[in-house]
Structure 1
């Protein structure tokens, strides 16, 4: 009898192929979802209402749930593969993240996200300045923080090897007290809260706490943002900038993050926020590399006003002077005026804000 090897091999191969294909077709697939935003715009404004249509496709199995989130807040949970949420109000400035999470009954799940930008719904008021008086300012000081306390001026300075904190008599510039940082630290913003001075550093993610009375170092802390820039406080929490459009509120006791806020005007995100000053419920911020100070609503992040200080130093510049950017805002409760200066500036100015013509 002749061997029947070939037919047996053929039958076995067909069996394996059939089994493999059957096994492949029964493999569970992840659900795939999409989000369509209506109306479709390149950017939205605060208070806009949008509709969100969610479609989910599954190749096999059954859906357990489809959840739609806006900035980690659950908007709806459904078992439908196609549904729409209407009149979702945009209450957060800046980048808003929409996320849909779909889960099947067998545990297979998937998520998709997209970001929409939300700007302020109102233009900022345009302001300029009137100089009330000018005062001497140390030309060797790379100003990073400026704040009044009991009519004394406190200034934080930067640059490696020259960073420190100085208590000054603002009328004369005379220094009453000072402390220098180690050369490895680049000093940034400062603020005074509960008889303590808080100071940021640039890239070390390290902050320092000093006794106000004698500048003795009493604590250090680590902050979450990648870089330290400006620092102020609202009477309860520290508020810091990091050179982006974000402001971060920090608990001064355990240094945990209380909240973050995105800042925007009606044209876009307000980046390069630098030195900060909290005044009567609003925040003033230098916009780095510009002559602009913005006034910010700390509840919404809207830019309320934009203050143009162009030309304020012009008549005091001398050939060869090492002059850097505007940076430094302090509010004097006694005079009820803002004081401004800059990095390596020879002058500090007491100003009154006036509407632009």
Structure 2
């Protein structure tokens, strides 16, 4: 009897051992999970406001190696505590921002958690309007995307596939003195002039072009990472582009790498659909697409300092039967301190002063 039972006992023992090993092998180590809560607890905050950041981390197994909390990729605190608070964090970046927590265990397993929030400006923009000083002819066929003034001439980039051009224009007559036609597949966008070169964006192709200022010969092309190209200007060193969002991107004009980005907001929210741009002494003027507004932006913070209502500008200068589109195009004559504005398919270009609303 004992001899007959031995094989059965042996098989049962091996089966139990196999099940035990199988169960152990299915128990995989778990990642740490962190949650971030803010005090005060809300979704929209004001620039300069201070908040407390509470970090809680759940640990199913193992030991924690480190927990790091960042604000806008700036390390605020590193700890091994599963719960801690970082007090008096000043919110000094506009737009959609975040707190990030990286939690790592001693076994190498790590996890990242984000807490998103929106930060608006702490100042109320001044409300301005305009005064027309002079007006000049403007090509009614020009779907204006970019506008620059240089050495007595206007330079204009136009859009629409099959009609996109780069133009040098006589201010007084509105006639094109030089022209370069983009290939039909490209929809031309913003332009700017830097170091005797003209830079031009395209809309969806994620491609830009570089021209010689004097001859209009195309001398280079470049790729950019934004999904769309809209407005373009420069600060004397780097290119600055808009992409239809509230973000401005600084580009190196030599290798077109990203130098930095800046989000734009007023005291009500983010300022989206930034379009044609003009940089003047630390300020960027931007058309807000589909509106009659130009905004004045602080390049250090992204705060909207002024909102300029341009409504009614073209009303008395075109017939109802004539096709026109939206306000777009800002150019500055630094030597004579003159500001020019126009729009897509506008028959006139205007020299204006910006004045406070009564």
Q: TM-score, normalised by structure 2?
A: 0.95
* Aligned pairs for 1:144-155 within 5 A: 144-155=145-156
Gaps in structure 2 of 5+ consecutive residues: none
Task: Please give the alpha-carbon distance, in whole angstroms, between the structure 1 residues aligned to 2:263 and 2:320.
Answer: 40
> SS where residue 88 of structure 2 aligns?
strand
Q: Is the aligned partner of 1:285 residue 2:268?
A: no
Q: Which residue is 2:85 aligned to? A: 84
Q: Which residue is 1:73 aligned to? A: 74
Is the 2:120–2:269 Cα contact (8 Å) retained in structure 1?
yes
Q: Is the aligned partner of 1:42 residue 2:47?
A: no
Task: Please give the alpha-carbon distance, in whole angstroms, between the structure 1 residues aligned to 2:82 and 2:31.
Answer: 14
Is the 2:297–2:303 Cα contact (8 Å) retained in structure 1?
yes
> SS where residue 315 of structure 1 aligns?
helix
Q: Which residue is 2:160 aligned to? A: 159
Is the 1:286–1:294 Cα contact (8 Å) retained in structure 2?
yes
Q: Which residue is 2:183 aligned to? A: 182
The alpha carbon displacement at 1:97 in A equals 1.7
Task: Please give the alpha-carbon distance, in whole angstroms, between the structure 2 residues aligned to 1:205 and 1:259.
Answer: 18
The alpha carbon displacement at 1:162 in A equals 1.0
Q: Is the aligned partner of 1:317 residue 2:318?
A: yes
The alpha carbon displacement at 1:335 in A equals 3.7
Q: Which residue is 1:29 aligned to? A: 30
Q: Which runs of 4+ in 1 moved over 3 A?
A: 1-25
The alpha carbon displacement at 1:319 in A equals 2.7
Q: Which residue is 1:56 aligned to? A: 57
The alpha carbon displacement at 1:333 in A equals 2.3
Q: TM-score, normalised by structure 1?
A: 0.95
> SS where residue 286 of structure 1 aligns?
strand
Moved more, 108-117 or 270-279: 108-117
Q: Which residue is 1:214 aligned to? A: 215
Task: Please give the alpha-carbon distance, in whole angstroms, between the structure 1 residues aligned to 2:151 and 2:294.
Answer: 24
Task: Please give the alpha-carbon distance, in whole angstroms, between the structure 1 residues aligned to 2:320 and 2:129.
Answer: 27
Gaps in structure 1 of 5+ consecutive residues: none
- RMSD, aligned α-carbons: 1.7
Task: Please give the alpha-carbon distance, in whole angstroms, between the structure 2 residues aligned to 1:137 and 1:182.
Answer: 23
Is the 2:139–2:175 Cα contact (8 Å) retained in structure 1?
no
The alpha carbon displacement at 1:337 in A equals 2.6
The alpha carbon displacement at 1:20 in A equals 4.0
Q: Is the aligned partner of 1:254 residue 2:255?
A: yes
Is the 1:151–1:334 Cα contact (8 Å) retained in structure 2?
no
Task: Please give the alpha-carbon distance, in whole angstroms, between the structure 2 residues aligned to 1:137 and 1:210.
Answer: 23
The alpha carbon displacement at 1:280 in A equals 2.2
Q: Which residue is 2:342 aligned to? A: 341
The alpha carbon displacement at 1:12 in A equals 5.1
* Aligned pairs for 1:217-228 within 5 A: 217-228=218-229
Q: Tell me the alpha carbon deviations over residues 29-79 of structure 1, each in whole angstroms, 9 at most, x when there is no partner.
A: 211111111111220111111111111111221111001111222111111
> SS where residue 312 of structure 1 aligns?
coil
Q: Tell me the alpha carbon deviations over residues 127-181 of structure 1, each in whole angstroms, 9 at most, x when there is no partner.
A: 0011111111111110001110012111111111111111111121122111111
The alpha carbon displacement at 1:317 in A equals 2.4
Is the 2:192–2:234 Cα contact (8 Å) retained in structure 1?
yes
